[in-house]
Protein backbone atom coordinates (compact mmCIF):
# COMPACT_ATOMS: atom_id res chain seq x y z
CA UNK A 1 0.00 0.00 0.00
CA UNK A 2 2.82 2.41 0.91
CA UNK A 3 4.49 1.69 -2.42
CA UNK A 4 1.27 2.35 -4.31
CA UNK A 5 0.69 5.60 -2.36
CA UNK A 6 4.19 6.85 -3.21
CA UNK A 7 3.62 6.03 -6.88
CA UNK A 8 0.41 8.05 -6.92
CA UNK A 9 2.12 11.01 -5.20
CA UNK A 10 4.98 10.92 -7.70
CA UNK A 11 2.48 10.91 -10.56
CA UNK A 12 0.61 13.88 -9.12
CA UNK A 13 3.86 15.80 -8.61
CA UNK A 14 4.92 15.12 -12.21
CA UNK A 15 1.55 16.34 -13.50
CA UNK A 16 1.70 19.48 -11.36
CA UNK A 17 5.26 20.20 -12.48
CA UNK A 18 4.37 19.75 -16.15
CA UNK A 19 1.36 22.04 -15.72
CA UNK A 20 3.50 24.71 -14.08
CA UNK A 21 6.09 24.48 -16.84
CA UNK A 22 3.38 24.85 -19.46
CA UNK A 23 1.87 27.87 -17.71
CA UNK A 24 5.24 29.60 -17.35
CA UNK A 25 6.53 28.84 -20.84
CA UNK A 26 6.99 31.96 -22.96
CA UNK A 27 4.50 32.53 -25.76
CA UNK A 28 5.62 31.39 -29.19
CA UNK A 29 7.61 34.06 -31.04
CA UNK A 30 5.76 36.30 -33.44
CA UNK A 31 6.30 35.77 -37.14
CA UNK A 32 9.76 36.81 -38.29
CA UNK A 33 8.24 38.74 -41.15
CA UNK A 34 5.08 39.58 -43.02
CA UNK A 35 4.23 40.56 -46.55
CA UNK A 36 1.75 43.32 -47.35
CA UNK A 37 0.56 45.25 -50.37
CA UNK A 38 2.78 48.21 -51.20
CA UNK A 39 1.95 51.01 -48.71
CA UNK A 40 0.67 54.51 -49.53
CA UNK A 41 0.99 57.69 -47.47
CA UNK A 42 -1.85 60.21 -47.61
CA UNK A 43 -0.14 63.09 -45.79
CA UNK A 44 3.53 63.93 -46.35
CA UNK A 45 5.72 67.04 -46.27
CA UNK A 46 8.58 66.87 -48.77
CA UNK A 47 9.46 70.58 -48.52
CA UNK A 48 11.01 72.11 -51.65
CA UNK A 49 14.47 72.67 -53.06
CA UNK A 50 17.16 72.44 -51.83
CA UNK A 51 15.66 69.70 -49.62
CA UNK A 52 13.99 67.42 -52.18
CA UNK A 53 17.30 65.68 -52.87
CA UNK A 54 17.12 64.26 -49.36
CA UNK A 55 13.38 63.95 -48.67
CA UNK A 56 12.09 62.38 -51.90
CA UNK A 57 14.27 59.21 -51.72
CA UNK A 58 12.86 58.24 -48.30
CA UNK A 59 9.29 58.60 -49.57
CA UNK A 60 9.87 57.03 -52.98
CA UNK A 61 11.55 53.96 -51.51
CA UNK A 62 8.80 53.36 -48.94
CA UNK A 63 5.53 54.30 -50.64
CA UNK A 64 3.66 53.81 -53.89
CA UNK A 65 1.38 56.87 -53.72
CA UNK A 66 2.26 59.94 -51.71
CA UNK A 67 -0.14 62.79 -51.01
CA UNK A 68 2.09 65.87 -50.98
CA UNK A 69 1.24 68.77 -48.69
CA UNK A 70 1.13 72.27 -50.26
CA UNK A 71 2.37 74.48 -47.39
CA UNK A 72 5.53 75.68 -49.06
CA UNK A 73 6.77 79.26 -48.99
CA UNK A 74 5.00 80.60 -50.98
CA UNK A 75 2.16 78.06 -50.70
CA UNK A 76 0.95 75.96 -53.64
CA UNK A 77 -2.30 77.80 -54.34
CA UNK A 78 -2.79 77.12 -58.08
CA UNK A 79 -2.77 74.10 -60.35
CA UNK A 80 0.17 75.51 -62.31
CA UNK A 81 2.21 75.73 -59.10
CA UNK A 82 1.20 72.18 -58.16
CA UNK A 83 2.26 70.75 -61.53
CA UNK A 84 5.60 72.58 -61.39
CA UNK A 85 6.17 71.26 -57.87
CA UNK A 86 5.32 67.75 -59.06
CA UNK A 87 8.02 67.97 -61.75
CA UNK A 88 10.61 69.05 -59.19
CA UNK A 89 9.67 66.05 -57.04
CA UNK A 90 9.88 63.53 -59.88
CA UNK A 91 13.36 64.76 -60.81
CA UNK A 92 14.55 63.70 -57.37
CA UNK A 93 13.25 60.11 -57.47
CA UNK A 94 16.35 57.89 -57.11
CA UNK A 95 17.40 55.55 -59.90
CA UNK A 96 16.87 52.43 -57.77
CA UNK A 97 13.10 53.09 -57.62
CA UNK A 98 11.42 51.35 -60.59
CA UNK A 99 9.84 53.75 -63.06
CA UNK A 100 6.18 54.41 -62.30
CA UNK A 101 6.28 52.80 -58.87
CA UNK A 102 6.25 56.13 -57.04
CA UNK A 103 3.34 58.49 -57.70
CA UNK A 104 3.10 61.92 -56.05
CA UNK A 105 -0.51 63.04 -55.61
CA UNK A 106 -0.71 66.83 -55.53
CA UNK A 107 -2.82 69.16 -53.41
CA UNK A 108 -3.75 72.84 -53.38
CA UNK A 109 -3.55 75.22 -50.43
CA UNK A 110 -6.97 76.69 -49.69
CA UNK A 111 -7.15 80.44 -49.07
CA UNK A 112 -9.91 83.00 -48.66
CA UNK A 113 -9.37 83.82 -52.35
CA UNK A 114 -9.61 80.31 -53.84
CA UNK A 115 -12.30 80.36 -56.54
CA UNK A 116 -14.57 77.71 -58.05
CA UNK A 117 -12.58 78.21 -61.28
CA UNK A 118 -9.39 77.24 -59.42
CA UNK A 119 -11.12 74.05 -58.28
CA UNK A 120 -12.35 73.20 -61.79
CA UNK A 121 -8.85 73.64 -63.20
CA UNK A 122 -7.43 71.38 -60.50
CA UNK A 123 -9.95 68.69 -61.39
CA UNK A 124 -9.11 68.62 -65.11
CA UNK A 125 -5.34 68.56 -64.43
CA UNK A 126 -5.46 64.86 -63.54
CA UNK A 127 -2.79 65.34 -60.86
CA UNK A 128 -4.46 67.43 -58.14
CA UNK A 129 -6.45 65.16 -55.84
CA UNK A 130 -7.38 67.33 -52.89
CA UNK A 131 -7.39 70.80 -51.35
CA UNK A 132 -5.93 71.47 -47.91
CA UNK A 133 -7.63 73.69 -45.35
CA UNK A 134 -5.25 75.25 -42.85
CA UNK A 135 -6.85 77.62 -40.35
CA UNK A 136 -4.57 80.66 -40.57
CA UNK A 137 -1.83 80.39 -37.97
CA UNK A 138 -2.63 76.82 -36.92
CA UNK A 139 0.68 75.19 -37.89
CA UNK A 140 3.84 75.45 -39.99
CA UNK A 141 3.50 77.81 -42.97
CA UNK A 142 -0.21 78.33 -42.40
CA UNK A 143 -0.14 82.13 -42.35
CA UNK A 144 -1.86 82.25 -45.76
CA UNK A 145 -4.61 79.90 -44.58
CA UNK A 146 -8.32 80.41 -44.10
CA UNK A 147 -9.53 83.35 -42.00
CA UNK A 148 -13.19 83.37 -43.13
CA UNK A 149 -15.19 80.17 -43.62
CA UNK A 150 -17.89 82.17 -45.37
CA UNK A 151 -15.42 83.18 -48.08
CA UNK A 152 -14.39 79.59 -48.90
CA UNK A 153 -17.93 78.20 -49.26
CA UNK A 154 -18.12 78.76 -53.05
CA UNK A 155 -14.88 76.77 -53.49
CA UNK A 156 -16.10 74.02 -51.16
CA UNK A 157 -19.38 73.77 -53.05
CA UNK A 158 -17.46 73.31 -56.29
CA UNK A 159 -15.32 70.62 -54.65
CA UNK A 160 -18.47 68.88 -53.47
CA UNK A 161 -19.81 68.99 -57.04
CA UNK A 162 -16.61 67.70 -58.68
CA UNK A 163 -15.64 65.16 -56.04
CA UNK A 164 -12.37 66.79 -55.01
CA UNK A 165 -11.47 65.96 -51.42
CA UNK A 166 -11.14 68.51 -48.63
CA UNK A 167 -8.25 67.83 -46.26
CA UNK A 168 -8.61 69.52 -42.88
CA UNK A 169 -6.07 70.52 -40.27
CA UNK A 170 -8.63 70.35 -37.51
CA UNK A 171 -7.51 72.72 -34.79
CA UNK A 172 -8.92 75.93 -33.39
CA UNK A 173 -6.65 78.96 -33.60
CA UNK A 174 -8.37 80.68 -30.69
CA UNK A 175 -5.52 81.35 -28.26
CA UNK A 176 -7.91 81.14 -25.32
CA UNK A 177 -8.38 77.43 -26.09
CA UNK A 178 -5.85 75.13 -24.40
CA UNK A 179 -3.37 73.65 -26.89
CA UNK A 180 -4.41 70.13 -25.85
CA UNK A 181 -8.08 70.94 -26.51
CA UNK A 182 -7.88 72.69 -29.89
CA UNK A 183 -8.79 69.61 -31.91
CA UNK A 184 -11.88 69.06 -29.77
CA UNK A 185 -12.85 72.72 -30.21
CA UNK A 186 -12.58 72.55 -34.01
CA UNK A 187 -14.63 69.37 -34.29
CA UNK A 188 -17.26 70.78 -31.96
CA UNK A 189 -17.89 73.98 -33.90
CA UNK A 190 -16.16 74.52 -37.25
CA UNK A 191 -16.28 71.08 -38.83
CA UNK A 192 -20.00 70.45 -38.17
CA UNK A 193 -20.74 73.79 -39.81
CA UNK A 194 -18.78 72.85 -42.95
CA UNK A 195 -20.44 69.45 -43.21
CA UNK A 196 -23.88 70.96 -42.69
CA UNK A 197 -23.37 73.40 -45.58
CA UNK A 198 -21.71 70.82 -47.87
CA UNK A 199 -23.17 67.48 -46.76
CA UNK A 200 -21.79 65.47 -49.70
CA UNK A 201 -18.28 66.94 -49.59
CA UNK A 202 -15.64 64.23 -49.24
CA UNK A 203 -13.55 65.11 -46.20
CA UNK A 204 -10.37 63.75 -44.65
CA UNK A 205 -9.88 64.84 -41.07
CA UNK A 206 -6.09 64.94 -41.15
CA UNK A 207 -3.92 63.48 -38.38
CA UNK A 208 -6.64 63.06 -35.75
CA UNK A 209 -5.03 62.89 -32.32
CA UNK A 210 -7.79 62.58 -29.75
CA UNK A 211 -10.54 60.22 -28.68
CA UNK A 212 -12.93 63.08 -29.41
CA UNK A 213 -11.64 63.35 -32.99
CA UNK A 214 -12.01 59.60 -33.50
CA UNK A 215 -15.58 59.63 -32.21
CA UNK A 216 -16.43 62.59 -34.46
CA UNK A 217 -15.23 60.73 -37.56
CA UNK A 218 -17.02 57.53 -36.57
CA UNK A 219 -20.28 59.45 -36.19
CA UNK A 220 -20.15 60.85 -39.73
CA UNK A 221 -21.31 59.32 -42.99
CA UNK A 222 -19.15 57.42 -45.48
CA UNK A 223 -17.92 60.67 -47.07
CA UNK A 224 -15.82 61.51 -43.97
CA UNK A 225 -12.62 59.66 -43.12
CA UNK A 226 -9.41 60.42 -41.25
CA UNK A 227 -5.69 59.85 -41.29
CA UNK A 228 -3.55 58.93 -38.27
CA UNK A 229 0.21 59.35 -38.00
CA UNK A 230 2.72 56.76 -36.85
CA UNK A 231 3.97 58.93 -34.00
CA UNK A 232 0.49 59.56 -32.61
CA UNK A 233 -0.09 55.79 -32.59
CA UNK A 234 3.08 55.19 -30.55
CA UNK A 235 3.47 58.12 -28.19
CA UNK A 236 1.55 60.25 -25.73
CA UNK A 237 2.40 63.77 -24.56
CA UNK A 238 4.61 62.59 -21.71
CA UNK A 239 7.42 61.85 -24.17
CA UNK A 240 7.73 65.56 -25.00
CA UNK A 241 8.73 66.30 -21.39
CA UNK A 242 10.54 63.09 -20.38
CA UNK A 243 13.80 64.11 -18.71
CA UNK A 244 13.45 67.64 -20.10
CA UNK A 245 12.10 69.16 -23.30
CA UNK A 246 12.34 66.83 -26.31
CA UNK A 247 11.77 69.06 -29.36
CA UNK A 248 11.83 66.23 -31.90
CA UNK A 249 8.56 64.92 -30.44
CA UNK A 250 6.89 68.33 -30.73
CA UNK A 251 4.31 68.40 -33.51
CA UNK A 252 0.94 69.97 -34.31
CA UNK A 253 -1.59 68.74 -33.50
CA UNK A 254 0.35 68.02 -30.33
CA UNK A 255 0.56 64.54 -28.81
CA UNK A 256 -2.30 63.87 -26.43
CA UNK A 257 -3.00 61.60 -23.43
CA UNK A 258 -2.49 57.85 -23.18
CA UNK A 259 -6.27 57.40 -23.28
CA UNK A 260 -6.32 59.28 -26.59
CA UNK A 261 -3.41 57.26 -27.98
CA UNK A 262 -5.08 53.96 -27.19
CA UNK A 263 -8.29 55.16 -28.87
CA UNK A 264 -6.27 56.00 -32.00
CA UNK A 265 -4.70 52.55 -32.08
CA UNK A 266 -8.10 50.90 -31.65
CA UNK A 267 -9.53 52.94 -34.53
CA UNK A 268 -6.54 52.31 -36.78
CA UNK A 269 -6.79 48.57 -36.28
CA UNK A 270 -10.55 48.12 -36.38
CA UNK A 271 -12.20 50.84 -38.50
CA UNK A 272 -12.15 51.22 -42.28
CA UNK A 273 -12.60 55.00 -41.87
CA UNK A 274 -8.96 55.46 -40.76
CA UNK A 275 -5.80 55.12 -42.83
CA UNK A 276 -2.16 56.16 -42.79
CA UNK A 277 -1.09 59.75 -43.25
CA UNK A 278 2.40 60.01 -41.74
CA UNK A 279 2.59 63.81 -41.58
CA UNK A 280 6.35 63.33 -41.83
CA UNK A 281 7.54 66.92 -41.45
CA UNK A 282 11.29 67.51 -41.53
CA UNK A 283 12.93 70.62 -40.11
CA UNK A 284 16.64 71.34 -39.96
CA UNK A 285 18.09 70.75 -36.51
CA UNK A 286 18.76 74.48 -36.25
CA UNK A 287 15.00 75.10 -36.49
CA UNK A 288 14.02 72.39 -33.99
CA UNK A 289 16.60 72.82 -31.25
CA UNK A 290 16.03 76.54 -30.80
CA UNK A 291 13.54 79.01 -29.41
CA UNK A 292 10.93 79.01 -30.76
CA UNK A 293 11.28 75.54 -32.25
CA UNK A 294 9.25 74.37 -35.25
CA UNK A 295 6.49 71.78 -34.97
CA UNK A 296 6.90 68.52 -36.88
CA UNK A 297 8.26 64.98 -36.56
CA UNK A 298 10.40 63.46 -39.31
CA UNK A 299 9.26 59.83 -39.69
CA UNK A 300 9.81 59.06 -43.39
CA UNK A 301 12.87 56.97 -42.54
CA UNK A 302 10.75 54.26 -40.83
CA UNK A 303 7.06 55.16 -40.89
CA UNK A 304 5.80 51.67 -41.75
CA UNK A 305 8.09 50.12 -39.16
CA UNK A 306 6.71 52.46 -36.49
CA UNK A 307 3.12 51.54 -37.35
CA UNK A 308 4.07 47.85 -37.22
CA UNK A 309 5.39 48.36 -33.68
CA UNK A 310 2.16 50.03 -32.59
CA UNK A 311 -0.05 47.34 -34.15
CA UNK A 312 2.08 44.47 -32.85
CA UNK A 313 1.83 45.80 -29.29
CA UNK A 314 -1.96 45.40 -29.53
CA UNK A 315 -1.93 42.09 -31.41
CA UNK A 316 -3.15 43.87 -34.54
CA UNK A 317 -0.57 43.03 -37.20
CA UNK A 318 -3.28 41.34 -39.26
CA UNK A 319 -4.79 44.81 -39.85
CA UNK A 320 -1.53 46.48 -40.87
CA UNK A 321 -2.09 46.03 -44.61
CA UNK A 322 -5.59 47.50 -44.42
CA UNK A 323 -4.35 50.60 -42.61
CA UNK A 324 -1.25 51.35 -44.68
CA UNK A 325 -2.14 49.91 -48.10
CA UNK A 326 -5.84 49.60 -48.94
CA UNK A 327 -8.20 51.89 -47.00
CA UNK A 328 -6.72 55.17 -48.22
CA UNK A 329 -6.79 54.10 -51.85
CA UNK A 330 -10.42 53.03 -51.47
CA UNK A 331 -11.45 56.39 -50.02
CA UNK A 332 -9.58 58.32 -52.72
CA UNK A 333 -11.11 56.11 -55.44
CA UNK A 334 -7.71 54.80 -56.57
CA UNK A 335 -6.98 51.26 -57.79
CA UNK A 336 -5.50 48.84 -55.31
CA UNK A 337 -1.83 48.23 -55.91
CA UNK A 338 -0.70 44.73 -56.83
CA UNK A 339 2.94 44.98 -55.79
CA UNK A 340 3.93 43.64 -52.37
CA UNK A 341 6.47 44.55 -49.69
CA UNK A 342 8.00 42.51 -46.90
CA UNK A 343 8.60 43.62 -43.33
CA UNK A 344 11.17 41.59 -41.44
CA UNK A 345 11.82 41.41 -37.72
CA UNK A 346 15.30 42.86 -37.80
CA UNK A 347 17.14 45.06 -35.31
CA UNK A 348 18.88 48.05 -36.90
CA UNK A 349 20.35 51.26 -35.56
CA UNK A 350 18.53 54.42 -36.57
CA UNK A 351 21.02 57.13 -37.58
CA UNK A 352 21.20 60.11 -35.25
CA UNK A 353 20.67 62.46 -38.17
CA UNK A 354 20.33 62.60 -41.95
CA UNK A 355 21.41 65.19 -44.54
CA UNK A 356 18.83 67.91 -45.17
CA UNK A 357 19.93 70.42 -47.78
CA UNK A 358 23.17 71.88 -46.43
CA UNK A 359 22.07 71.04 -42.87
CA UNK A 360 20.85 67.95 -41.01
CA UNK A 361 17.50 66.66 -39.76
CA UNK A 362 17.04 64.53 -36.65
CA UNK A 363 14.67 61.60 -37.30
CA UNK A 364 12.20 60.37 -34.75
CA UNK A 365 14.05 58.00 -32.38
CA UNK A 366 17.39 58.91 -33.90
CA UNK A 367 20.21 56.88 -32.33
CA UNK A 368 17.85 54.18 -31.04
CA UNK A 369 17.30 50.63 -32.28
CA UNK A 370 14.32 49.71 -34.47
CA UNK A 371 12.68 46.27 -34.35
CA UNK A 372 11.17 46.07 -37.84
CA UNK A 373 12.69 46.68 -41.28
CA UNK A 374 10.86 47.37 -44.54
CA UNK A 375 12.65 45.45 -47.28
CA UNK A 376 13.39 46.87 -50.72
CA UNK A 377 10.47 46.93 -53.15
CA UNK A 378 9.93 44.39 -55.92
CA UNK A 379 11.35 45.25 -59.31
Residue 171: what are its φ and ψ, rounded to 5°? -140, 140
- Banded model confidence at residue 5, pLDDT cuts 50, 70, 90: very low
What residues act catalytically? 279
**Residue 13, pLDDT score:** 38
Its pTM stands at: 0.91
Give dist(CA 358, CA 344) in Å, integer: 33
Give dist(CA 76, CA 110) in Å, integer: 9
pLDDT in tens, 216-247: 999 999 999 999 999 999 999 999 999 999 99
Give dist(CA 222, CA 273) in Å, integer: 8
pLDDT at 7 over 90: no
Give dist(CA 225, CA 305) in Å, integer: 23
State how beta strands 41-44 and 65-68 pair. Answer: parallel
**Residue 144, pLDDT score:** 85
The reply to whether omega before 221 is within 30° of 0 (cis) is no
pLDDT at 26 over 90: no
| Strand ranges for the chain from DSSP E | 33-37, 41-44, 65-68, 103-109, 128-133, 165-168, 203-205, 224-228, 274-276, 340-349, 354-356, 359-361, 369-374
**Residue 47, pLDDT score:** 98
pLDDT in tens, 173-215: 999 999 999 999 999 999 999 999 999 999 999 999 999 999 9
Give dist(CA 310, CA 269) in Å, integer: 10
Amino acid sequence: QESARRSVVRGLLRSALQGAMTAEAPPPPAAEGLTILQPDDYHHHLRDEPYLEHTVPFAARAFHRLLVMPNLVPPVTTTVMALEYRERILKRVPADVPEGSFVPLMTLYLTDNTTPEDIALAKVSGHVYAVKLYPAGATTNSDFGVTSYEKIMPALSKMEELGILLLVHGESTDQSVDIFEREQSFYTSTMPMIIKQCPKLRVVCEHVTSAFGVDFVLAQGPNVSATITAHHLLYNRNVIFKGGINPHFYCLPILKTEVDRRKLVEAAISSSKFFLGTDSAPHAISRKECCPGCAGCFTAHMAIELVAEAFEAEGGLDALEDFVSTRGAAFYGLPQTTKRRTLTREAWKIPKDYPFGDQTVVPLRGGETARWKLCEREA
